[in-house]
Chain A
Amino acid sequence: MKIKFWGVRGSIPTPGPSTVKYGGNTTCIEIRTDDNDLIILDAGTGIHALAQNLLKEMPVQAHIFITHTHWDHIQGLPFFIPIFIPNNHIKIYGGIDPVTNETINRALSVQLQYSFFPIREAQLNARIEYATVKPGVPVHVGRAVITPIVLSHPVLNFGYRIDCDGQSVFFTGDYEPQLNIYDPEDDEYAEFQSFVDAKWDEVVLAMKDVDALIVDSSYTNEEYASKQGWGHGTYDSGIKLATAAKAKKLFFTHHEPTRSDTSLEIIYQNLLQNNPGTGCELLLAQEGIDISL
């Protein structure tokens, strides 16, 4: 498998001189199997540049897995040029939102409305298909197997594990490992902690032994202190996951929007210094770099 990041930024695109190196587009990851099947994880603004690249290989068959429907993960869908071109086949996968009971087709249809976009959904020329995925139920794309798991975020969010030809990748989407909401002196503390521990074990099992683990690591520990409950992880929570799951490579992504290339690299150098024995290669997700597993 090969991986390429087309968007690594969290929340909002951040173009400009301070983000040139790592990139300012929001989440989009291209995965190519050895058979060249195309799996795309999330459709943030990064998907536009990926689309330009795909124009050379029409007709396109793309399988887009949406982790969750927050804006920065779906905003690029109307700009995914292959949806306008006949003979392309685009399949979009996602969950059913337990609050709205809406399926993933809403992620595109809600954007293609008169007030927000000039083209109607009915005018898309490619064959667009939608598929509802369920946690723990594998989906097949060629020889790849994609397995979703629910990961805590302020909206339904799936982490996806992709296994193909003996290699594996796991992407968390946006994920804040659940903390105990009770204080140690509360009666409910122990029971809640047992749920937290059980979920942690389930999550670690889902990403066990992956070749590449891509995690939402928006914050430093200092920043996280005032951002608990916002739905994002830290560099350290990413390392904890990778260590427990024995991941071979750990990619930090969903870079905080105000984070410059320079500050990202300072944080990265500190992480390398402070975590010498993880047994896992630590890497910053960077737009446009090809990664072979």
Chain B
Amino acid sequence: MQNSKNEKLLVLVEKMPAFPKSVQQVVQLTSDINASAKDIIRVIECDPVMTVRILKAINSSFYGLPQKITSVQRAVVHIGLNTIKNIALGVAAMGMLNADNKANFNTSDFLLHSLTTAAISKLLAERIGLSSTECGDCFVAGLLHDFGKVVFAEFIPDEFKLALEKSQEQQLPLHQTELEFIGLNHSQAGRILAEKWELSGPLIDAIAHHHELEHSPNVLRDCVFAANQVSKRMHFGDGGNPVIEAFPASIIARFGLDLPAMCEALGDLESVKIEAQSFINL
């Protein structure tokens, strides 16, 4: 039963539209022959739906790439800007993600949380001296970590609404109430999608286990976990999950700080929020 439900979900997600501002900007920028490549890429890489669609197309087994393509920028270098632009335009043609979903899930707040988690995850990766490629991968992992939630809101709104409400009312972790009402949580749903789309192993792992740190060590996942908590603590949206988790020992060991100290150490993150908002507000 669950398997057939998952299959159905996979088919539906293929038609999922992207976020309104990026749809509008992609249409606008791709109509302008003089638009700069970096402006177009910036819009695409800040939209979770467009990003996954590109990673899915490029990592498809039809291309049999020996190494997975883990970011939009890398995809551009591999295949050329025009193909990436046209995949994004194809996503834009599917319309815009409706802000008024039956689950009452706030998609602008979700995008703010995803984008700030992405940016903070990259900052954390830089702090611990990861390579520029790994820092870029951390951005992508942060952007996509909660992808399962927006899929729930779009395609299983009634059950997701109940999960959101119980999580809010009883201050329970959303991934726990999702399990109760939907039978799988957003990280499990994200994992199924990411595996189907043949994304890179570390990225699948970061999406699948961003609430379960005892799983195998993964620096990408650790950056996302920490950034997720920082984003919520700074009130940059919570993706519907009111519970902020303290840094466990493994995260403190990784970054050398606990959550309050990390928020302090990262300094003023207002610019991160403002930049994220520029990709959200129409």
Which positions in A face B, CB cutoff 8 Å? 95-96, 98-99, 132, 134-137, 150, 152-157, 176, 178, 181-182, 186, 188, 190-192, 194-196, 198-199, 229, 231
20 A-B pairs within 8 Å (CB atoms) are namely: A98-B83, A98-B87, A99-B57, A99-B86, A99-B90, A134-B63, A134-B64, A135-B63, A152-B79, A152-B80, A157-B80, A181-B41, A182-B38, A188-B38, A188-B73, A191-B132, A195-B78, A195-B133, A199-B77, A229-B81
A135-B65, A191-B135, A194-B132 given; A178·B73 CB < 8 A: no
> B83: which A residues are within 8 A, CB to CB?
98-99, 154-156
Having A154-B80, A178-B76, A181-B37, one finds 9 other A-B pairs with CB under 8 Å, namely A95-B62, A96-B63, A98-B63, A136-B64, A136-B65, A188-B38, A192-B77, A195-B73, A231-B80
> A135: which B residues are within 8 A, CB to CB?
63-65
**Nearest A residue to B134 by beta-carbon distance?**
A191
Q: Is the CB of A196 within 8 A of B86?
A: no
**Nearest A residue to B77 by beta-carbon distance?**
A195
Q: Which single member of A134, A156, A191, A231 contacts B73 (CB below 8 Å)?
A: A191
C-alpha gap A98/B76 in the complex (Å): 13
Is B259 part of the binding interface, using a Cβ–Cβ cutoff of 8 Å?
Answer: no
> A190: which B residues are within 8 A, CB to CB?
132
A-B contact count (CB 8 A): 84
> A178: which B residues are within 8 A, CB to CB?
76-77, 80
Is B66 part of the binding interface, using a Cβ–Cβ cutoff of 8 Å?
Answer: yes
Q: Is the CB of A181 within 8 A of B62?
A: no
C-alpha gap A181/B41 in the complex (Å): 10
Instruction: Determine which residue in A96, A98, A132, A136 has the highest number of CB atoms from chain B within 10 A of its CB, and name it.
Output: A98
Looking at chain B's contact residues, the main secondary structure is helix
Is B200 part of the binding interface, using a Cβ–Cβ cutoff of 8 Å?
Answer: no
A135-B64, A137-B64, A188-B73 given; A194·B79 CB < 8 A: no
Is B50 part of the binding interface, using a Cβ–Cβ cutoff of 8 Å?
Answer: no
Is B82 part of the binding interface, using a Cβ–Cβ cutoff of 8 Å?
Answer: yes
Which positions in B face A, CB cutoff 8 Å? 36-38, 41, 57-58, 60, 62-66, 73-74, 76-83, 86-87, 90, 132-133, 135-136
**Nearest A residue to B58 by beta-carbon distance?**
A98
Q: Is the CB of A155 within 8 A of B64?
A: no
A191-B136, A194-B132 given; A98·B41 CB < 8 A: no
Instruction: Determine which residue in A156, A188, A191 has the highest number of CB atoms from chain B within 10 A of its CB, and name it.
Output: A191
> B74: which A residues are within 8 A, CB to CB?
195
A98-B83, A136-B64, A150-B78 given; A191·B90 CB < 8 A: no
**Nearest A residue to B81 by beta-carbon distance?**
A229
> B86: which A residues are within 8 A, CB to CB?
99
Q: Is the CB of A186 within 8 A of B38?
A: yes
C-alpha gap A229/B87 in the complex (Å): 17
C-alpha gap A155/B87 in the complex (Å): 11
A99-B87, A99-B90, A182-B38 given; A134·B62 CB < 8 A: yes
Q: Is the CB of A154 within 8 A of B64?
A: no
A95 → chain B, closest Cβ, in Å? Answer: 8
A92 → chain B, closest Cβ, in Å? Answer: 17
> A154: which B residues are within 8 A, CB to CB?
80-83
B74 → chain A, closest Cβ, in Å? Answer: 5
Q: Is the CB of A155 within 8 A of B82?
A: yes
Q: Is the CB of B63 within 8 A of A181?
A: no
C-alpha gap A229/B36 in the complex (Å): 10
**Nearest A residue to B90 by beta-carbon distance?**
A99
C-alpha gap A134/B65 in the complex (Å): 8
> A194: which B residues are within 8 A, CB to CB?
132-133
> A152: which B residues are within 8 A, CB to CB?
77-80
Q: Is the CB of B73 within 8 A of A98?
A: no
> A96: which B residues are within 8 A, CB to CB?
62-63
> B63: which A residues are within 8 A, CB to CB?
95-96, 98, 134-135, 150
Q: Is the CB of A98 within 8 A of B60?
A: yes
Q: Is the CB of B81 within 8 A of A181?
A: yes
C-alpha gap A194/B137 in the complex (Å): 14
C-alpha gap A95/B81 in the complex (Å): 18
**Nearest B residue to A230 by beta-carbon distance?**
B82
> A198: which B residues are within 8 A, CB to CB?
77
> B60: which A residues are within 8 A, CB to CB?
98
> A157: which B residues are within 8 A, CB to CB?
80
A98-B58, A98-B87, A134-B62 given; A192·B80 CB < 8 A: no
Q: Which single member of A134, A150, A188, A192 contacts B79 (CB below 8 Å)?
A: A150
Q: Which 4 A-B pairs have the closest CB atoms?
A: A154-B82, A191-B132, A181-B37, A152-B80
B281 → chain A, closest Cβ, in Å? Answer: 23
C-alpha gap A70/B86 in the complex (Å): 15
B145 → chain A, closest Cβ, in Å? Answer: 20
> A181: which B residues are within 8 A, CB to CB?
36-38, 41, 76, 81
C-alpha gap A198/B73 in the complex (Å): 13
B227 → chain A, closest Cβ, in Å? Answer: 17
C-alpha gap A202/B45 in the complex (Å): 24
C-alpha gap A186/B39 in the complex (Å): 12
> B80: which A residues are within 8 A, CB to CB?
152-155, 157, 176, 178, 231
> B65: which A residues are within 8 A, CB to CB?
135-136
> A150: which B residues are within 8 A, CB to CB?
63, 78-79
